[in-house]
Amino acid sequence: MNMGRKLMTTVLTIICFTLAASLISMNESYSFDFYIVIYLVYATPMIVLIGLPLSILLDYLLSRIQFVNHGLYLSTRILSYACAGVLGMYIYYVVMGAGEAILDIKETLVLTLFGVLAAILFVLIDMGLEVLLRYEEKRVELN
């Protein structure tokens, strides 16, 4: 596992998620720059402290499975990360002391969807960096 790639993925995910969530959330009451600060403050610790460890665990578990074809592997990886996004948000709720409010689907649905968005962004960025780094390694070997 390439920890440098994982750390780069984490930073890029924080930036992309902050921009995407801010675009989704901005309204007439609060501007885009307000949400940039809010999502940066709240998403960064969650992505670093929950998302990164879950990503490392998922990649380890998925590397132990022999997949028949690459499409099945990619689908399983993306679905696993989406589930990890849901799990990560519930871990966040517990840590923040949500109590019984965690069981109220109306209260947790929107933030859980943001967790899934962050997780899917994480896996897509990670897969993109993986391809780019593999391409760069091959290019360096040829020279």
> What are the tens digits of pLDDT across the range 101-125?
777 787 788 889 999 999 999 999 9
Mean pLDDT across the chain: 91
Instruction: Identify the domain containing residue 124 by its residue range.
Output: 3-142
**The pLDDT of residue 55:** 96
User: Residue 140 above 90 pLDDT?
Assistant: no
Residues 6+ apart with CB under 8 A from 131: none
pLDDT of residue 83: 97
pLDDT in tens, 6-48: 999 999 999 999 999 999 998 888 989 999 999 999 999 999 9
Distance between CA atoms of 112 and 138, rounded to whole angstroms? 39
CA angle 41, 14, 131 (to 5 degrees): 170
Work out the average pLDDT over 126-133. Answer: 95
Strands (E), 8-120: none
**Domains of the chain: total:** 1
- Per-residue pLDDT averaged across 74-83, rounded? 96
